Amino acid sequence: MSSPCIEFRHVSKTFAGAKHIVPALEDVSFVVQPGEFVTIIGPSGSGKSTLFNLCVGLFEPDKGEILIDGERKRNRAGMVGYMPQRDLLLPWRSVLDNVIIPLEIQGIPRKVARQRALEILPHFGLKTFENEYPSALSGGMRQRAALLRTWLMGRSTLLLDEPFGALDALTRKELQNWLLTVWQEFSRTVLFITHDVEEAVYLADRVIVLSPRPGKIKLELTVDLPHPRHQSMTTEPEFGKLVRELLTELGVNT
């Protein structure tokens, strides 16, 4: 059996601020297997983004260890695809030149990188937008571009931090379906942070629930809905049951 894409073993992380010490994560252990779609949900301040920053090596854990593809690496930068909450597109680069940034970092010549990006651009609904500046794009299009940039890192594991958080409900549903399509088509592994309970259930094979600060894993919930998913599933009793369970766990089901 192949090793897990991501494994956290008893990871704790505390931030020492100027005035007080903030415990962000406490004894977090979980495993993400290849091909899985796992969502992480938790109240704000439960250390969701910290968890990702640890994965990509922006910080080191105080305790415990993090394994990427079964290996414990000191320098984890560039080993997994990472998409932060904000799209962070460079305003001075066209969409095409924005999405090839990870390829440029890997030392691939611009021309080759552009060619590769142009081939995959249509799958991300960005065809005919490649020469626009990001400022000309709608929020949904910007997220698509940011996701394509993450995609072109060429890693089998993608960490997506609330990628659809700032979008309107309709665009969000559209992008959810589209994400599931590309996930299946290209067989990637996704770890997806959200604060939307329905989104967590709709996308995932498995939902990880974090507690309020300091973040601990309260529950891992397997979602036994068949793939491909359809928005109509959200009205089924099975779906409602899972959502209810999560809401109870998060303490907002009153």
Partner 1 sequence: MNWRRDFIPPTALIIFLILSWFFVTKVTGLKPFILPTPLDVIEAGLRTRGLLLDAIGTTLLSTAIGMTLALLTGLGIATLMDLWPLVRRALYPILVASQTVQILAIAPILVIWFGFGIMPTIFIVVLSCFFPLAVSTADGLTSADPELLALLRAMGATRRQIWRMVRLPAALPSFFSGLRIAITYSVVAATVGEWVGGSSGLGMYMLRSKNALATDQVFVAMLITTLLSIALFMLVYGIERIVLPWYYSAQRKEQWDEMGIY
Buried b (16+ CB within 10 A) or exposed e, 126-164: beebbeeebeebeebbbbbbbbbbbbbbebebbbbbbbb
In whole angstroms, the minimum distance from the beta carbon of 202 to partner 1 comes to 27
Q: Which of residues 112-141 bind partner 1 (CB under 8 A)?
A: 133, 135-136
Radius of gyration of the chain (CA): 18
228 preceded by cis ω (within 30°)? yes
* Backbone φ, ψ for residue 253 (5° rounding): -95, 80
Tell me: does residue 10 bind partner 1 (CB under 8 A): no
Tell me how far, at minimum, the Cβ of 233 lies from partner 1, in Å.
34
Q: Is 117 exposed, middle or buried (0-12, 13-18, 19+ CB in 10 A)?
A: buried
Number of residues that bind partner 1 (CB under 8 A): 24
Among 104, 220, 236, 238, binds partner 1 (CB under 8 A): 104
Q: Please report how close the Cβ of residue 182 comes to partner 1 at its closest, in angstroms.
A: 20
Nearer to partner 1, 147 or 217 (CB): 147
Neighbour tally for 207: CB within 10 Å: 24
Q: Which of 56, 118, 166, 233 binds partner 1 (CB under 8 A)?
A: 56
76 to 95: interface string for partner 1, x by CB under 8 A: -xxx--x-x-x-x-xxxx--
Strands (E), the chain: 6-16, 21-32, 37-41, 63-68, 81-83, 157-161, 189-194, 206-210, 217-222
Residues forming a β-bridge with 159? 82, 191
Nearer to partner 1, 136 or 252 (CB): 136
Closer to partner 1 at the Cβ: 77 or 252? 77
- In the bound complex, what is the minimum distance in angstroms from residue 82's beta carbon to partner 1? 5
Judged by CB under 8 A, which of 70, 105, 122, 168 binds partner 1? Answer: 105
Interface contacts to partner 1, rule CB under 8 A: 53, 56-58, 77-79, 82, 84, 86, 88, 90-93, 101-102, 104-106, 133, 135-136, 153
